[in-house]
Chains A and B, each alone.
Chain A
Amino acid sequence: MSTFLGLYNYWIVVLLMMIGFYIVIGHDNLMKKLIGLNLFQTSVFIMYISAGAIDGATAPILGNVDAPYAHPLPHVLILTAIVVGVATTALGVALVVRIHEAYDSLDESEIIAACDTGDEPAGEHRDNA
């Protein structure tokens, strides 16, 4: 049962990964790419969660009186990976928003076409926080 569950997890991981990857590659829309990327990353979080479940390391806190704090490994890893993922998504969205402001489009091929045809004077684009 547990092996089946384990395998089941991994199938979900693989499926999510494929879907995410497909969206990243197959779509021209930058926002969709970002969503695909997120899906792709999420699949990995699930993989790590599955790994943690196999280990049986559910308690986030181990250790004794002298050492109240230890590395509760799987959870720290997942949390860290999620933070990284969130940061990536936030930066990605920020870029998408600014690309949309600069080009009025979110379509990658349209944007590239706009770059290739229109010459861009240096210093035309300045950003702001």
Chain B
Amino acid sequence: MIAHFFAQLPALPVILPLLAAPLCVLLRHATLAWLTYCTVSLAVFGISLLLLVQVHVGIPISYAMGGWAPPVGIELRVDTLNAFVLVLVSGIAAVLGPYTRASVAAELPAERAYLFYALMLLTLCGLLGITITGDAFNLFVFLEISSLSSYALIALGTKRRALLAAFQYLVMGTIGGTFLLIGIGLLYIMTGTLNMADLAERLPAVADTRTVEAGLAFIVVGASIKLALFPLHAWLPDGYAYAPSAVSAFLAATATKVAAYVLIRFIYTVFGATYAFGQLPLGEILALLAVAAMLYGSLAAIFASDVKRLLAWSSVAQIGYIVLGVALATPAGLTAAILHMLNHGVIKGALFCAAGALFWRLHRSDLASLAGAARAMPWTSAAFLAAGLSLIGVPATAGFISKWYLLAALFEAQQGWLAAAVLISSLMAVIYIGRVAELLYLRPAPDNVPAPTEAPTAMLAATWTLVLVNIGLGLYSTPVVDVVRSAAASLTGGGA
């Protein structure tokens, strides 16, 4: 019985949210829906941890949906990489549980709260599905499930501009998803299979055809749109700026990371790094775009006038770090990229949580409104500051660890100029985080506005959990780095 339970673990991260989402709709009760969300996200987090432990000490797990053997049926396949991403996504979802309660109560009409939780669960289901599936087409389906529900989530934002932001995201996201679908279709035409492991085996035989090259190009572009890689990032700043706070935090922490996972999975597992980087100047192009993203995103963040928008632009820049690591095509680079997926997820989650808590009290998110808020909201402000330092890459924070590995990988690959770009972008982060910190701590609060009070404990708890995880990762990253390294090593073909 226990063995059967463990054998069923891979299916649960997808099924539990999928079952819970309609349950929320049926319950139609904010608190019950919230409880459902919390329970499921926690359960899924636990399961993901179990899976990670299982694959880290053992071998990849294959789970056949419907009992059909993999090449024919849909396979769920867990290896170290996606178990790691599962932990990240479900962990963020679980931490946001307490946060959503107050945040949703403040930003959404009560009678629609259940819808919010249903959509969050659907998004979670989609993101986890993308991560865990071993079938390329199935990946597309989960991608669309998560995308559609996140469009709807963004449209729930308080300002009417949220609608346009959601629409723009829908247009870009659909183009991205369709590109991915085209790429997958081309591979399918050439190989007759959709199973990713199977694809990896069959592609070399037809690798030299234009169709496969085109497939690679379409998939990379599609994933890049979902990833918001410069210059395909246009949807992200508006989307994150106008979404409800909890949604911004959730999507910023998870959605782009999962898109990065898709990019890594296709480049390294399906096509193989040798082919992907050998056939087209893919590494060079990605590195160039990554640098452009780091610099442009940081610059835009410096000139942003709204804190959520600032954070969103910073995400554009941080995605550049991840892609840069991917583009290096070395185990060290990939290690850095995967590490930064986790670390940036935790950091951005914390920052958006803090921004949401500020918004919760101030009802505004423009920078000017933050003046002097630290006095009334010391815990929120301190959380923002701590996470901001991590974003900059100050030692003893998670951000430092990933930056360390990225720079080491760049030096190892003798890419000094790229390292310089990373450093410049980090310094730009000092400026935009510094702006917010100075406003919070050193500006006097306006006299005409009643002094706000500290955010609710539940919101603070979630925010500080992320901040502490952040610091914990910064101080003791060895186990995480071990896991990431073994994931990167198996992807790049080296021994674990």
Contacts and interface: CB of A to CB of B under 8 A. Distances in A.
A/B contact in complex, CB under 8 angstroms: yes
B151 A48 contact: no
A115 B163 CA distance: 12
B163 A99 contact: yes
B167 A95 contact: yes
A125 B185 contact: no
Given A54-B189, A95-B151, A126-B109, A47 B182 contact: yes
Nearest to A57: B192
Given A88-B144, A96-B167, A124 B160 contact: yes
B109 A24 contact: no
A92 B167 contact: yes
Interface string B163-188: 11011001100110110011001001
Contacts of A103: 160
A120 interface: yes
Contacts, number: 101
Nearest to A84: B144
A108 B189 CA distance: 38
Contacts of A51: 185, 188-189
Contacts of A41: 174, 178
B185 A122 contact: no
Interface residues of A, number: 43
A18 interface: no
Contacts of B163: 95, 98-99, 102, 125
A127 B109 CA distance: 9
Contacts of B170: 88, 91-92, 95
Given A41-B178, A88-B144, A122-B363, A48 B185 contact: yes
Contacts of A129: 112, 115
A66 B240 CA distance: 51
A124 B182 contact: no
Interface string A44-66: 10011001001100000000000
B164 A111 contact: yes
Interface in B341-383: 363-364
B185 A44 contact: yes
Contacts of B175: 21, 24, 37, 40
Interface in B119-146: 137, 140-141, 144
Contacts of B192: 55
Contacts of A15: none
B265 interface: no
B174 A37 contact: yes
B379 to A, nearest CB: 23
Given A37-B171, A37-B175, A47-B182, A125 B162 contact: yes
B409 to A, nearest CB: 36
B73 interface: yes
A70 B171 CA distance: 34
B182 A125 contact: no
B181 A44 contact: yes
B6 interface: no
The 10 nearest A-B residue pairs measured at CB: A125-B160, A102-B160, A95-B167, A84-B144, A51-B189, A99-B163, A120-B159, A115-B161, A123-B158, A122-B363
Interface of A: 21, 24, 30, 33-34, 37, 40-41, 44, 47-48, 51, 54-55, 70-71, 73, 77, 80-81, 84, 87-88, 91-92, 95-96, 98-99, 102-103, 108, 111-112, 115, 120, 122-127, 129
Given A80-B137, A88-B148, A122-B363, 8 more contacts: A47-B185, A81-B181, A87-B144, A92-B171, A120-B161, A122-B158, A123-B363, A127-B156
7 contacts: A98-B155, A111-B164, A115-B164, A120-B159, A120-B161, A125-B158, A129-B115
